Structure 1
Amino acid sequence: MTNPAQSVIATSVVFTQASQLDQSDTIGLFSLDDIVKQHYLFHPYAYALTSSLTQEDQVSIVAACGDLPPAEYYVTELTNILVQAAKHQNGQPLRVALSGVESSSRLNRVGCELEPAETNPAMGLRGVSRYANNAHRKSFALDCEAIKRARLGKECQNIELVIPFVRTFSEAATIIDLLAEQGLCRGAQGLKVHILAELPANALLAETFLQYFDGMVVDIDVLAQFTLALDPEHEALTYLYDEQNEAVLTLLRQALKAAKKAGKPCELISRHLDDSPKLVRWLHEQDIATVIKAKA
């Protein structure tokens, strides 16, 4: 009999350079947040809003970008990384997750003062609410420009988009409009746009959310965080963190059922498969053969 734990194939969600991947690897999800963290020295707003930096910081970023203006440096570098990743997929989709990280995670970067301070970043400007905010709009435009340039190559039209933190149906409609304004029209040249389901609302109302998107990627760990109202950084609450909780599994079941009914793909992400035997057994029972494994 097949061991349920062996039925789940994990692929890495973190991507830096195609040269660091084996030929047999596939990229489950390309995270712009991870790329910015690993590849760029400055806060992304520093590249988009260089003239708003102090004179000293302007000198630093201009020197670091060589012959290119900071905004063009940011776009060129990101475009090249996207192209490498897209070609590595050998025609399989490269799903690119737009920025959804908490603002607090970027406080150590030069230029962080350009991002509005938040009392509760975990529930602040993330995902669509950030893209629609005037303070973020130029940075969002740079990400979109890089994606648009990368998709110009015939070998890179496998690039698809994944949108984090879509709180409401109104935000679902908003992001489709915002992307279109940036020249990334859903459906144009085969562009697919997926929702990154991290919130209970996304799973509970998946059937309706999927009317706005071409598929769904469910982050099991973040879904558990918001389902159980836990701060993963709070040490006194770590014993409660459980993506195998029945409430979480019920939401996953709802999302999978809705995707199947809509005839659209539903991918799953987890950072803790190795420590979650109940979850692995449950996935096996749902006939889930592949889960994207993110770095914990």
Structure 2
Amino acid sequence: MTNNNQSGFSFTEILLDPAQLEQSTATIGLVSMDGLINSAIGIHPYAVAETTKLTEQQQQVVLEAAGDYESPTEWYVTTLTNILVEAAKNADNKPLRVRLSGADSHYRRTLPGSELEAIEVNPLIGLRGVSRFADLSHRKSFNLECEVIKRARNSEGMANIELVVPFVRTCSEAATAIDLLAEQGLCRGANGLKVHLMCELPANALMSEKFLPYFDGLVIDIDQLGQFALGLDQEHKSLNYLHDDQNEAVLQLVKHALKTAESAGKVCEVVSHYIHKAPKLQKWLLEHEVQSVISQ
């Protein structure tokens, strides 16, 4: 839902669940593929892509979820495609930015079939984003995700769908991401496809001049920048007192990324889950000419 507070801010939502689209006043600022997979599919992507690797009992769970579809993969792709198409139509020809799956493995641990994904000692800084897309164990799942985007954009004509690539650690990974997408028929620039960088690692902000040539814009996640800049785990309740999106180090990172995007003439969006509780941050962003924030 778009809300305007007294400071002049406008807020848009992150689409995590298709139920949000039933709200006629909802304005989507960013689509989370991780969120949609959890809410609308409820099965681990690896279990959908490689059902035969599961036990017979687990295979039955996946097949029952797929219902009358010819295969679990067709159910998966069609279901997610339909959600993106509806969201893109609701956007009324404005860009609908879709964040590809970038959550850590712990996020998917409760999903049926999660045993197909390796358990990591430290998921927070493990196989995520581009490193996961490039990993052979994930490739079939990545292909399915790309198929969803292609169907929504090409078959259903939703050319306003744009991509946001998460967890890009290095410029080498930036190049890898663009190559992997191209291999799947999602070439940056083809048919107007725009690809943005999810600026969530300090390296993304500090080296934004190096990263931006690979992308059409930035989506700055202030919460994630704060998490990695201050060495926090947002799920660790004992560390909640340390979470501070208004920390000077975090704001310096955001400021540098904002300036770089402006200098390059590229679009820049900002994400903050805590913006409603951070009036000082709102004021700081307004002072830096940011008037719209993606939140929840």
Please tell me the TM-score bracket, short chain as reference: over 0.9
Do the aligned partners of 1:144 and 1:182 also contact (CA within 8 Å) in 2? yes
CA distance in 2, matches of 1:114, 1:236: 31
Aligned to 2:33: 32
Secondary structure in structure 2 of the residue aligned to 1:119 = coil
User: What amino acid sits opposite 2:129 in the alignment?
Assistant: G
TM-score by length of 1: 0.95
Query: Following TM superposition, by how much is the alpha carbon of 1:232 offset from its aligned partner in structure 2, in angstroms?
Result: 1.3
User: What amino acid sits opposite 1:222 in the alignment?
Assistant: Q
Q: Considering Cα pairs closer than 8 Å and 6+ residues apart, tell me whether 1 or 2 has the greater RCO.
A: 1
Aligned to 2:246: 244
5+ long unaligned stretches in structure 1: none
CA distance in 2, matches of 1:5, 1:279: 14
Do the aligned partners of 1:98 and 1:164 also contact (CA within 8 Å) in 2? yes
Aligned to 1:57: 58
Aligned to 2:229: 227
Aligned to 1:74: 76
Aligned to 2:164: 162
User: What amino acid sits opposite 2:101 in the alignment?
Assistant: S
Aligned to 2:12: 11
User: What amino acid sits opposite 1:20 in the alignment?
Assistant: E
CA distance in 2, matches of 1:91, 1:290: 18
User: What amino acid sits opposite 1:191 in the alignment?
Assistant: L
CA distance in 2, matches of 1:240, 1:71: 42
Do the aligned partners of 2:15 and 2:31 also contact (CA within 8 Å) in 1? yes
Do the aligned partners of 1:4 and 1:281 also contact (CA within 8 Å) in 2? no
Q: Aligned ranges for residues 88-99 of structure 1 at < 5 Å? A: 88-99=90-101
User: What amino acid sits opposite 1:170 in the alignment?
Assistant: S
CA distance in 2, matches of 1:62, 1:275: 44
CA distance in 1, matches of 2:262, 2:186: 26
Q: Aligned ranges for residues 250-261 of structure 1 at < 5 Å? A: 250-261=252-263
CA distance in 1, matches of 2:112, 2:156: 36
CA distance in 2, matches of 1:290, 1:31: 18
Query: Following TM superposition, by how much is the alpha carbon of 1:4 offset from its aligned partner in structure 2, in angstroms?
Result: 8.4
Secondary structure in structure 2 of the residue aligned to 1:92 = coil
Aligned to 2:144: 142
Do the aligned partners of 1:203 and 1:251 also contact (CA within 8 Å) in 2? yes
Query: Following TM superposition, by how much is the alpha carbon of 1:287 offset from its aligned partner in structure 2, in angstroms?
Result: 1.5
User: What amino acid sits opposite 2:98 in the alignment?
Assistant: V
Q: Aligned ranges for residues 183-222 of structure 1 at < 5 Å? A: 183-222=185-224
User: Residues 78-99 of structure 1: CA distance to partner in whole angstroms, max 9, x if unpaired?
Assistant: 1111110111100000000000
User: What amino acid sits opposite 1:38 in the alignment?
Assistant: S
Do the aligned partners of 1:215 and 1:265 also contact (CA within 8 Å) in 2? yes
Aligned to 2:182: 180
Do the aligned partners of 1:5 and 1:281 also contact (CA within 8 Å) in 2? no
User: What amino acid sits opposite 1:40 in the alignment?
Assistant: I
CA distance in 2, matches of 1:196, 1:88: 23
Aligned to 2:268: 266
Do the aligned partners of 1:76 and 1:146 also contact (CA within 8 Å) in 2? yes
User: Residues 67-117 of structure 1: CA distance to partner in whole angstroms, max 9, x if unpaired?
Assistant: 220011100111111110111100000000000111011111111011111
Query: Following TM superposition, by how much is the alpha carbon of 1:19 offset from its aligned partner in structure 2, in angstroms?
Result: 4.0
Secondary structure in structure 2 of the residue aligned to 1:116 = coil
Secondary structure in structure 2 of the residue aligned to 1:210 = helix
CA distance in 1, matches of 2:7, 2:252: 23
User: What amino acid sits opposite 1:200 in the alignment?
Assistant: P
User: Residues 125-175 of structure 1: CA distance to partner in whole angstroms, max 9, x if unpaired?
Assistant: 000000000111100100100110110156410000000000000000000
CA distance in 2, matches of 1:149, 1:171: 25
CA distance in 2, matches of 1:153, 1:137: 23
Do the aligned partners of 2:16 and 2:39 also contact (CA within 8 Å) in 1? no
User: What amino acid sits opposite 2:59 in the alignment?
Assistant: Q
